[in-house]
């Protein structure tokens, strides 16, 4: 006898979300189950494309379906009914804010490599350089063309090695020209970047925020549905103090902090291989413990990473000693996005366990 759709849904209760600790059916992550000619078509409320944890969940779901003697056809769908905003940036699945409490900690380099790393995994990615006064993204990811303009006067971002980017740096005649702008003009450019860019369909939009907790960051939090923030710090106590303030700001605006990236965490001697904590050791651990946020990764000091001003994202450079550290950060960020989105679904979708049979009602 062939398996019914209800019986298959019961079998899917064997698949547990590794981050939340409950099965995917009870969490409301299974939108629909249909069986047609030995093919099980499953619609899943997943929203973090190419996140390692969701890819693994997909593999486990396929195993359950194949054990039942069926072919698996998995698809992902989320919408307003799952708790996601369909009005602001409706074609952008996830907005990730990359921030730092102070300048000089490598925030832009982390943001650019995060964008390039997600694109490398197969995602459609955009990178918004929202640091109006210090627009350095084009130095790392040089645009392949000038920005375009739609008939509706929306900016069309050019690409850089597959990543769609927009930056104030593209608007300057010379690379060394300063952006001498007062607050109202900064806000005007920010709102144009937030509301007047035609990104197309994106899995992830990375926003490189200016350092600190000023107007630009507040405008973003008030104007965009930010999925979560990544906070970049270095081990020095002064940087950690400002990082704590940044985390508090996100908490006050109900923006999930996905975790902390500790940059310049150590120096690895190229001659002897010894590791030295030039700016202290394990400084980010105090933040992780106090605010109960994940440590997304530690990136060592290396001439490749932000020191020589070379162009290109090292996460795509197979010869770089830093690549593996960056790939770990990219995977952790994607997993935390996936976990955050699945928790959003579970909070907005009520789903009765599949093994609970429907009760008969009297006429």
Question: 126 labelled as ligand-binding?
Answer: no
Give the residue from 70, 54, 52 showing the smallest Cα distance to 62. 70
Tokens read off for 189: 């450019």
Instruction: Give CA separation, 11 vs 16, 19, 70, 350, in Å.
Output: 11, 20, 13, 19
Tokens read off for 116: 């390039």
Determine the Cα–Cα distance for residues 84 and 76; give it in Å rounded to an integer.
14
Question: 107 labelled as ligand-binding?
Answer: yes
Burial of 101 (0-12, 13-18, 19+ CB in 10 A): buried
Instruction: Give CA separation, 247 vs 112, 243, 255, 260, 292, in Å.
Output: 21, 6, 9, 9, 11
Question: 106 labelled as ligand-binding?
Answer: yes
338 neighbors 17 (Cβ within 8 angstroms): no
Question: 102 labelled as ligand-binding?
Answer: yes
Q: Helices in the chain by DSSP H: which ranges?
A: 5-12, 52-67, 107-121, 137-140, 183-195, 215-223, 237-252, 285-291, 323-348
Question: 103 labelled as ligand-binding?
Answer: yes
Question: Which residues, other chains included, contact 163 with Cβ-Cβ below 8 Å and sequence gap of 6+?
Answer: 115, 116, 119, 125, 126, 127, 141
Question: 350 labelled as ligand-binding?
Answer: no
Q: Looking at the DSSP assignment, which residues form a beta bridge with residue 282? A: none
Sign of the C-alpha dihedral computed for residues 22, 23, 24 and 27 taken in this order:
negative
Indicate the pairing of strand 257-268 with strand 275-276. Answer: antiparallel
72 neighbors 65 (Cβ within 8 angstroms): yes
Q: Helices in 68-200 by DSSP H: which ranges?
A: 107-121, 137-140, 183-195
Question: Which residues, other chains included, contact 229 with Cβ-Cβ below 8 Å and sequence gap of 6+?
Answer: 96, 97, 98, 99, 250, 255, 256, 257, 258
84 neighbors 344 (Cβ within 8 angstroms): yes
Q: Which residues are annotated as a binding site for ATP?
A: 101-108
Q: Which residues are annotated as a binding site?
A: 101-108
């Amino acid at each position: 006898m062939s398996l019914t759709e209800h019986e298959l849904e019961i079998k899917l209760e064997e698949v547990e979300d590794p981050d939340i600790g409950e099965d995917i059916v009870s969490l409301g992550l299974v939108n629909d189950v249909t069986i047609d000619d030995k093919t099980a078509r499953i619609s899943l409320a997943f929203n973090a494309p190419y996140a390692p944890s969701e890819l693994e969940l997909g593999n486990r779901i396929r195993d359950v379906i194949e054990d039942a003697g069926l072919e698996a056809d998995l698809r992902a769908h989320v919408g307003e009914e799952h708790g996601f905003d369909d009005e602001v940036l409706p074609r952008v699945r996830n907005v990730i804010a990359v921030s730092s409490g102070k300048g000089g900690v490598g925030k832009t380099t982390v943001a650019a490599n995060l964008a390039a790393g997600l694109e490398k995994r197969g995602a459609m990615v955009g990178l918004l350089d929202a640091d109006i006064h210090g627009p350095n993204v084009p130095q790392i990811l040089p645009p392949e063309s000038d920005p375009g303009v739609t008939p509706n006067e929306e900016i069309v971002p050019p690409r850089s090695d597959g990543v769609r980017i927009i930056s104030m740096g593209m608007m300057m005649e010379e690379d060394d020209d300063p952006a001498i702008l007062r607050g109202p003009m900064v806000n005007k450019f920010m709102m144009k970047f937030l509301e007047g860019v035609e990104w197309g369909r994106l899995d992830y939009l990375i926003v490189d925020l200016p350092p600190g907790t000023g107007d630009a960051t507040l405008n973003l939090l008030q104007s965009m549905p930010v999925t979560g923030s990544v906070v970049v710090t270095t081990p020095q106590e002064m940087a950690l103090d400002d990082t704590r303030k940044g985390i508090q700001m996100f908490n006050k605006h109900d923006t999930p902090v996905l975790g902390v990236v500790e940059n310049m965490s150590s120096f690895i001697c190229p001659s002897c291989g010894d590791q030295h904590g030039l700016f202290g050791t394990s400084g980010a651990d105090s933040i992780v413990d106090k605010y109960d946020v994940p440590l997304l990764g530690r990136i060592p000091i290396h001439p490749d990473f932000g020191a020589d001003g070379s162009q290109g994202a090292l996460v795509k450079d197979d010869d770089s000693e830093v690549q593996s550290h960056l790939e770990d950060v990219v995977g952790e960020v994607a997993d935390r996005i996936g976990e955050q989105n699945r928790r959003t679904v579970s909070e907005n979708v009520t789903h009765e366990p599949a093994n609970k049979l429907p009760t008969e009602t009297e006429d």
